[in-house]
Structure 1
């Protein structure tokens, strides 16, 4: 009984890892490349911050676009596990209003969202 409790406790400890250890720079670059649809050499990563299992960071593309991104990561008995990158283009809210003018429909017109 005590042995199985010890094994279960040890397993739960091994399943938890902090992002500073679990999330490598290579994983960030690879997952960000997939998230924003650019080659790995088309952007730079900066301002990395690890908080628990979450790593947040900034991305700047060679085209001048800026993203705020995050991944989560843990180390378990089967190895490192890093989530897909979740990225939001900074300033995209201002751009989206001009895009809606190109795809204006009757409902958007009635709501006053386009002309």
Structure 2
């Protein structure tokens, strides 16, 4: 029984590694705070950039569902509606933000090169 359980764990854990799409949200105005309505669906965290301003937010989708993210600025608030599905994350349109998909697969297939020949000895 332990062997079966161990085999299932080994097989199922990698399937959840890249299950949902994560996003970077960039704003032209510094962000005061970010609150996710349901942290079990999406976690939203503001990030300090190199010039020490919080204009970037990381959205980490955790499970399927609908929620909203409230972003506070010095001059007001904005709400983004989010829906997490098994294959994608849908965010409502907002002109104040620029969305950047993380973990996006490349457009071109990756070519795997053969290992180099190692010459040694005499």
Structures share a fold, TM > 0.5?
A: no
Higher strand proportion:
2
Taking structure 2 as the reference length, the TM-score comes to: 0.28
Higher helix proportion:
1
Taking structure 1 as the reference length, the TM-score comes to: 0.30
